[in-house]
Structure 1
Amino acid sequence: MERAIAHMDLDTFFVSCERLKNSVLEKQPVIIGGGDRGVVASCSYEAREFGVRSAMPIRMALRLCPEARVIKGDMEYYSNMSHVVTEVIQEKVPVLEKASIDEFYLDLSGMDKFFGCYQWTNEVADAVMKNTGLPISFALSTNKTVSKIGTGESKPIGKLEVKALDVQPFLNPLSIKKIPMVGPETFQLFSRLGVKTIKTLSEMPVDVLQELVGKNGTVLWKKAHGIDETPVIPYCERKSISTENTFSQDTIDIQNIRSVLSGMVEKLCYQLRHEKWLTSTVSIKIRYANFDTETKQCRIPYTSADHTLLRYVLELFNKVYTRRMRIRLIGVRFTGLVHGLHQMDLFEDTEELISLYQTMDHLKDRFGPSSVGRASGLLL
Structure 2
Amino acid sequence: MNTTIVHFDLDTFFVSCERLLDSRLNNKPVIVGGTGDRGVVSAASYETRAYGVHSGMPMKMARQLCPNAIYIRGNAGTYTKFSKQVTEILQSEVPVLEKASVDEFYADLTGMDRFFGCYKFASELRNTITRESGLPISFGLSVNKTVSKVATNEAKPNNQLKVDTGYEKAFLAPLSIKKIPMVGEKTYRTFCNMGIKNVHAVQQMPVEMMTSVFGKNGRMIWQRANGIDHTPIVAYHERKSISNERTYGQDTIDITTLKTTITAMAENLAFQLRRGGKLTSCVTVKIRYSDFQTYSKQLKIPYTSADHHLIPVVMQLFDTLFSRRLLIRLVGVRYSSLTTGTYQINLFDDEKKTVNLYTAMDAIRTRYGDRSIMRAATMGEGARTIGNFTNPFNGEPPIVLAHRTQ
TM-score by length of 2: 0.63
Tell me, in whole angstroms, the C-alpha distance in 2 between the residues paired with 1:234 and 1:306. Answer: 33
Other-structure match for 1:70: 71
Other-structure match for 1:132: 133
Distance 1:306 1:228, change over 3 A: farther
Q: Which runs of 4+ in 1 moved over 6 A?
A: 317-322
Map residues 150-299 of structure 1 onto 2, 5 A cutoff.
150-237=151-238, 240=240, 283-284=279-280, 295-296=304-305
Q: CA deviation at 1:318?
A: 11
Secondary structure of 2:71's partner?
Answer: strand
Secondary structure of 1:164's partner?
Answer: coil
Q: CA deviation at 1:33?
A: 1.4
Q: CA deviation at 1:59?
A: 2.1
Secondary structure of 1:104's partner?
Answer: strand
1:16 aligns with 2:41: no
Other-structure match for 1:27: 27
Percent identity between matched residues is 45
Q: Which has the higher contact order (CA 8 A, sep 6+)?
A: 1
Tell me, in whole angstroms, the C-alpha distance in 2 between the residues paired with 1:112 and 1:295. Answer: 48
Distance 1:138 1:306, change over 3 A: farther
Other-structure match for 1:82: 83
Secondary structure of 1:122's partner?
Answer: helix
Secondary structure of 2:279's partner?
Answer: strand
Secondary structure of 2:126's partner?
Answer: helix
Q: Letter of the aligned partner of 1:143 in structure 2?
A: N
Q: CA deviation at 1:283?
A: 2.1
Other-structure match for 2:148: 147
Tell me, in whole angstroms, the C-alpha distance in 1 between the residues paired with 2:303 and 2:348. Answer: 11
TM-score by length of 1: 0.67
Q: Is 2:172–2:199's contact at 8 Å kept on the other side of the alignment?
A: yes
Other-structure match for 1:363: none
Secondary structure of 1:145's partner?
Answer: helix
Secondary structure of 2:2's partner?
Answer: coil
Deviates more, 1:48-57 or 1:211-220: 48-57
Deviates more, 1:44-53 or 1:12-21: 44-53
Tell me, in whole angstroms, the C-alpha distance in 2 between the residues paired with 1:141 and 1:318. Answer: 46
Q: Is 1:151–1:159's contact at 8 Å kept on the other side of the alignment?
A: yes
Other-structure match for 2:101: 100
Other-structure match for 2:332: 307
Q: CA deviation at 1:127?
A: 1.1
1:237-290 per-residue CA deviation (whole Å, 9 max, x = no partner) reads 2x5369xxxxxxxxxxxxxxxx9xx9xx99xx9xxxxxxxxxx7752469xxxx
Other-structure match for 2:349: 324
Distance 1:196 1:87, change over 3 A: same
1:116 aligns with 2:117: yes
Distance 1:28 1:218, change over 3 A: same
Tell me, in whole angstroms, the C-alpha distance in 2 between the residues paired with 1:297 and 1:106. Answer: 37
Secondary structure of 1:91's partner?
Answer: helix
Tell me, in whole angstroms, the C-alpha distance in 2 between the residues paired with 1:202 and 1:306. Answer: 44
Q: Is 1:34–1:348's contact at 8 Å kept on the other side of the alignment?
A: no
Q: CA deviation at 1:148?
A: 0.2
Tell me, in whole angstroms, the C-alpha distance in 1 between the residues paired with 2:305 and 2:36. Answer: 37
Tell me, in whole angstroms, the C-alpha distance in 1 between the residues paired with 2:345 and 2:197. Answer: 56
Tell me, in whole angstroms, the C-alpha distance in 2 between the residues paired with 1:73 and 1:223. Answer: 35
Q: Is 1:35–1:72's contact at 8 Å kept on the other side of the alignment?
A: yes
| Structure 1: runs of 5 or more not aligned | 243-258, 270-279, 287-292, 299-304, 326-346, 350-380
